[in-house]
Structures are given as C-alpha cells and as structure tokens.
Amino acid sequence: MATLAVNGGGGAAAATHTQAYLEGRAVKETRVLISELCRHFYTLGWVSGTGGSITIKVHDDSIPKPQQLILMSPSGVQKERMEPEDMYVLSGNGTTLSSPSPKPYPHKPPKCSDCAPLFMKAYEKRDAGAVIHSHGIESCLVTMINPMSKEFRITHMEMIKGIKGHGYYDELVVPIIENTAYENELTDSLAKAIDAYPKATAVLVRNHGIYVWGDSWINAKTQAECYHYLFDAAIKLHQLGLDWSTPNHGPTRNFKLGLGSNGNVNTSAKAVTEGSDYGSGLFPRCIVLDIEGTTTPISFVSEVLFPYARDNVGKHLSVTYDTAETQDDIKLLRSQVEDDLKQGVAGAVPIPPGDAGKEEVIAALVANVDAMIKADRKITALKQLQGHIWRTGFESNELEGEVFDDVPEALEKWHSLGTKVFSFSFSFSCRYGSQFCVYHLVVCAIMLFLLNVV
C-alpha cells in the first residue's frame, strides 16, 4: 500500500497523519466496515454495476470530529468484491493521505470515488460522520413520477420516524436536484440543496439516486434504509392511485375541476391544471379539452369565425371550385338543398346542374348557405364547408387564432409531463346533429378510459 504522510495542522490533527495512526486499529476497522457494508448494499441493489459509494469518518474520541480521518471507497470497482486495503484515506480537509496499490488486469488503476467532492460538502455543512450514495431503483424511480417536482414529500408513514428530527405526524421533505453527465458536476447543486433544506439528511438526484448522511455510519445506514422503504411505499401507492403526500393517503387519480366565482364548474386550462393532483406527483395520462370557453373565447367563434365564413363563401368556392374537396362540399350541399326544397324550407333555392356556368352554380350556393347561416342550422353540409373556409383563412393568414393567456403555459406543462392532450368541441359536434354529438362523446369517453385507466 502506498502511503503519503502529511505534515501540518498540529496537535491531534497531526497525530492522525502518522504512519502508525494510518495503520492503527481504528483505521483498519473502518476499512473492514466499509467493505462489509458495500457487500450488504450490493445485495440491496444500491451499489450494483460499480455504481454508488460510501464514506465513513474514523471515530476517535481524542480527535475533534472535523479533524477525524475520512475513508472512502474507490470509483469504478465491483463494490461487492472490495477488500479493506482498497479504501482511500483522506484528512479532514479532503487531502489524500493513503491510496490503494494498483491491481493487475482486468482491474482499472485505482481512483478515489467520483462522489468525493459531494461527500465533502456533507461533512463540511452537516458535520456528518458518514455518507452513503445509493443507486437503489426506488430512489431513482420516485424522482420520475413528477418530472417537474423539486421535492419529495411524504407524511403519516411509520418509517418516517427513522429519519433524524422527524416523527410519524411530520411531513418529510427531500430536495431533488437535476442529474448531470458527471458526478462532480452535482457538487454545487447539492451544496445549495443542503443550505436550502437545513432539516434534510438526504438529497435525491433525478434519474440517478440519493445521497444520505448521518452522525455515524449506523445513523446513515438506518436513514438510508428508511428512505428507500418510503420511496418504495410511494411508488406502490402511486400504482394504486393513492396519494402518499397526504395524511389519509386517499385516491389521487380523481380529475378535479375548479369552481368559478359564480359557483359554476370552471373548465379553463388553468383551473384544470391547478385543480389536478400535480402537487402530489400524480396526473392523468390524457386530457381532452373543449374549445369554446375553455381554450378559446366564445366571442372569437361568434364574432370572428362565423362572420368570416359567411363573408367568404363565394371567394372560397371560386378559388377552390375545381378541387375534389370543394366538389364534395358542393355535392353535399346539393343533396341538402334538394331535401330542403321538397320540405319547403324557407330560403332554399335550386342549384343549377354541374354543366351550367361556374358563376351561376356559385351564386346559388352562396344564396343557400347565407339562408342556412341566418337560420343557424346545425347541418353537416354547412359545417363541413365552414370548416374548409376557416382552414383556408388560417393558411392564408387572414384568420389568426385566439386562446386564453393560460393555455400555452398549461399545454407546455402537460407536454413536459408526458400527458397527451386532445381537443374536442362539444358545441361544434352538436351542430352536426345530435347523433354525431353522442357518437363523439362516446369516442372521447372510451379514449379517456383506455389512456388513463388501462
């Protein structure tokens, strides 16, 4: 074993740097302890694939805690196969005093844990006696349930009592920081989380794992076990549709709608977002939004879209007359007008045959459409043509959509959460007839069931 003796510090600190102390009983026992704990953590899935790490201070009543030696596991090694002599020994300020000797191929050259700078932050800011870094799957998955959340919160669970400073009725809050490509790049964000959450004894790293510290290795290990239990419980409660963050752990998948000031149901995008269970990390996989009054003001439809369609019937038919789509619209209108003439519907006028002049056909179509609009008829022939006119208007930039201010923010949030968003206009579908409206509603109900329940 290669050893580097470091002078300086004076008194008790200097005594820990001597060769005799480095080879003494306290250091040897801590080396053995780390190798034993890593073998145990491997069986729990915390340090598989060379991931995860652990560090423990060498306890010595004669040495002030900040000056006690620090032992750390190496990086990139099979943690379950580590031997006591594989550990690094550092001074209280993080200077390497002793490093392991290289091993033959296929072992990599020895390297101190990549977690070293993060471990040192826990020692400096929390006066910790040990720090555990786990890659346990529970600590990884629990950060994915709500990708927007910066905290994990849970309450009224017996194992919360195993976390320092917490009881059964307390709310346990664990900060979540974002992962980076390299471990040492997490140092600043972990330090900020430690400062921002003075009661916390752990920090979660999204899609990665957790750092847990304690006054001693026993305290750190106990808390790490409790954290993993609580994360596993939260995941299982989530799968059952129950809310782990509330005292009664009741259902969370109910889709709540806010109430407007007049007591009516508020179905705006903002109300849907704020009324849903996003705070608990549980949210629907699919949202179906109405258009009029939910994403778009009703006035936009009545004051912009309808007048535009009425004023541009002739222009639209003239420009697109020879297209298959418009010919299909004309065929549908002819059929409707023929029925209207038979039934004596007011405003219906005969449409010349197809071999008549284009202008004559369009003039008759405009007259019939104008009568249909004035009568506010809910018929497919009219609605299909209006839809095509509006599309042409949007494509030519003569029409510009209007949505409520909170809609873009809500859509971006749902998209980032992986929630699928669909639009459905109840009022528009009803204009096509009651049968079509009922059919559309049934389709939406089936879709919601399949996406949110199955």
Residue with structure tokens 């930039």?
397
- The alpha carbon torsion through 45, 49, 53, 58 (nearest 10 deg) reads 90
Q: What are the residues facing 38 on neighbouring strands? A: none
133 carries a ligand binding annotation = yes
Does the active-site annotation cover 303?
Answer: no
Please tell me whether the peptide bond between 104 and the residue prior to it is cis, using omega within 30 degrees of 0.
Answer: no
Q: Which residues contact 378 (CB under 8 A, 6 or more apart)?
A: 430, 431, 432, 433
- Is 102:109 a contact under the CB 8 Å cutoff? yes
Can you say how many angstroms the Cα of residue 426 is from the centroid of all Cα atoms in its chain? 30
> How long a stretch of residues is the chain?
454
Alpha carbon dihedral 238, 244, 247, 250, in 10-degree steps, equals -10
Q: Which of 85, 158, 325, 409 is catalytic?
A: 158
CA angle 221, 225, 231 (to 5 degrees): 140
Helix-strand-coil percent breakdown of the chain, rounded to 5? 50, 15, 40
Q: Across-strand partners of 153?
A: 173
Q: Is 115 a known ligand-binding residue? A: yes
Q: In angstroms, rounded to a whole number, what is the distance separating the alpha carbons of residues 213 and 224?
A: 8
User: Which residues are CB-neighbours of 148 under 8 A, at least 6 positions away?
Assistant: 278, 413, 416, 417
Point out the annotated binding site for substrate.
115
Residues annotated within the binding site are 115, 133, 135, 208
Annotated binding-site positions for Zn(2+)? 133, 135, 208
Just list the catalytic residues.
158
